[in-house]
Structure 1
Amino acid sequence: MQPEDLELLVTREMPFGKHKGRIIADLPGNYLNWFAREGFPQGEIGRLLALMQEIDHNGLKDILAPLRQRSGH
C-alpha cells in the first residue's frame, strides 16, 4: 500500500461493472467480497479494491472520514 492509496479510495471511481462511476470507498461490502473470492483485477484498480475490501472487512471505514472531508466526497 502506498500512503496516497487511502486518498485514492475516496476520490477514484469504479471504472467498470454494475457500480461503474461509484467512488471506491462507497462500494458495497458484498461486491468487494465477490472480488476477494473471484480475484481482483490487475493494476491500480485491483490494488485499491483489495485495500478497500480489507478496510471494509475489518470495520475500519471510519479511517477514511477525514480524507472524505478533505476531498469533498
Structure 2
Amino acid sequence: FSAAVVYAQELLPNRMGLASGLTLGFAFGAGGIGAGVTGVLIDVVGLEWGLATLSLLPLGAALACLPLKERRVPVLARG
C-alpha cells in the first residue's frame, strides 16, 4: 500500500490527506469486494479454475499501469 500512497501524494502534494484517504479507502474497499467475488467465482467454477483465473489479475494491473506518467505539481508555499 505504501508505494501507492506515496505515488498519490506526489500527484496531489497540496492534498496529501485526501490522496492517502482515497488510496487506502479504495484499496480496502476493492479487497472486500474482491473477497466476495472470489468466493462466488470459486463456488461456480471450482477451486482450480478460480485460482487460475485470479492469477491473471496481476497482468491486468500491470497493463493498467502502463499509461501512468510521472507528473509533478508545484507545492504551494506555506506561511
Structure number with bigger Rg: 2
TM-score, length-scaled by structure 2: 0.28
TM-score, length-scaled by structure 1: 0.30
Q: Which has the higher contact order (CA 8 A, sep 6+)?
A: 2
